[in-house]
Amino acid sequence: MDEAQVNALRRLIVIMLFDGVDLIDVTGPPEVFALLQREMRQETGYQVVLAAESTEPVTTSAGVRILPDATFQAVAGRSIDTLVVPGAVDTDEQHRVHARTDPAVVAWVRVLAGRARRTASVCVGAHLLAAAGLLDGKRATTHWSTAGQLAADFPAVAVDADPIFIREGDVWTGAGITACLDLSLALVAEDFGEAAAMAVARQLVMYLKRPSGQSQFSVPIETTSTTRRMDDLRHHITRNLAGRLTIADLARYAHIGERQLTRIFRTELGTTPAAYIEAARVEMARNRLESTADSLERIASTCGFGTVDTLVRAFRRTLNTTPTEYRSRFRHSVDRPGPELTRGVVPACST
């Protein structure tokens, strides 16, 4: 490929820098784009440029200093393929996190987005897009810890804190921290296809490349216990999801009364034992739907639901979908589930 052909393919990716920016928001996407180049073994056209107000070093939230490649003013005169807007946060005396929206940075977001084919925010960078007016009337996500702030500060934005990333036309918003990798992989998939994105995901040793609708949360990370007894109960539940897990069984295991068990779950996890067990079983079923070709009958049995009907009802109740619909959206294997997977399942609900 000669120089003229390379220039024709050039895809300028501008990543914005400013003091206090989250380090992984800046370094994660370039790793994805660089690995794509290695995996494809041909010119991708991606040219990553780190841009800031000046070319002086920028200090990130981790204390690591990064040297910009160019100024905002310089890249504003170029045609930008992808503008990546990371975020920064401040914490108050109560250790509460607040997304930072520096007016000077917001002004440059507005200018550079006008030069870009597509604009993507990483983590709390969504607040900068919103402040620049780029999310008005659009659905958007951000890190779960600042989703409330985003909704309160920008009522014209339809905030959805659950997905890993959301695409609305030429504007993309990504969820928290490592979700920058999922968002970058989605951009790669748009440009070069799913096979290329999956090849990069394998090199990153990512468990899977999560689609946009995948939740930021799972049972193990969303609920945090506060006592050793509750930790032990949760581990016991996880180890025995396929078996009998009644309130009486759990109370006997913990050597406490049933009423005390229920009170502990309410106090420490904000839920009931039955609801927690169902959520854990749904989480296990989700993982099996994503990563195996097991029939719904087998999944229902191994995850403790007993019957496919019970599995379907749990999915409708907790995820507003069916196992079949979930698998069709989030299945990651190249294998296609056979006809036996849909036996006994009511038609998928629309989402």
Q: Are residues 158 and 230 both part of a single domain?
A: no
66, HSE (Cβ side, Cα atoms, 13 Å): 24
**Position 208 in a domain:** no
Rounded to 10 degrees, what is the CA torsion of 164, 137, 189, 329? 60
The domain boundary residue, chosen from 176, 203, 230: 203
Q: Is residue 212 part of a domain?
A: no
Query: Please, are residues 140 and 150 in contact by the beta-carbon 8 Å criterion?
Result: yes
- Spell out the per-residue pLDDT of the chain, length 351, in tens: 444 444 445 899 999 999 999 999 999 999 999 999 888 877 889 999 999 999 999 999 999 999 999 999 999 999 999 999 999 999 888 778 899 999 999 999 999 999 999 999 999 999 999 999 999 999 999 998 899 999 999 999 999 887 888 999 999 999 877 788 989 999 999 999 888 888 888 788 664 445 555 555 555 544 455 578 888 898 899 889 999 899 999 999 999 999 999 999 998 888 899 999 999 999 899 888 887 889 999 999 999 999 999 999 999 988 888 999 888 776 644 343 333 333 233 333 332
Which residues sit opposite 120 in a β-bridge? Answer: 84, 172
For 244-274, b/e burial (b = at least 16 CB within 10 A) is: ebebeebbeebeeeeeebbebbeebbeeebe
Same domain, 159 and 270: no
- Residue that is last in its domain, among 147, 170, 203: 203
Same domain membership, residue 18 and residue 156:
yes
Q: What is the pLDDT of residue 213?
A: 52
Q: Give the burial class of 278: count Cβ atoms within 10 A of its Cβ; 0-12 exposed, 13-18 middle, 19 or more buried.
A: buried
Q: Is 349 inside a domain boundary?
A: no
- Write out the residue range of the structural domain in which residue 13 sits: 3-203
Question: Residue 211 domain-assigned?
Answer: no
Tell whether 226 and 121 lie within a shared domain.
no
Task: For residues 232 and 295, state if they share a domain.
Answer: yes
Question: Do 225 and 160 share a structural domain?
Answer: no
Residues 22 and 165 in one domain: yes
Query: Do 161 and 101 share a domain, yes or no?
Result: yes
Among 215, 198, 196, 217, residue whose Cα is nearest residue 206 = 198
122 and 182 part of one domain: yes
197 in the same domain as 229:
no
Residues 179 and 246 in one domain: no
Mark whether 163 and 298 lie in a shared domain.
no
CATH number at residue 163: 3.40.50.880
Look up the pTM and report it: 0.64
214 lies in some domain: no
Report the number of distinct structural domains present in the chain: 2
The residues near 41 (Cβ < 8 Å, ≥ 6 apart) are: none
CATH number of the domain bearing residue 291:
1.10.10.60
What is the pLDDT, as a whole number, of residue 348?
A: 31
213 in any annotated domain: no
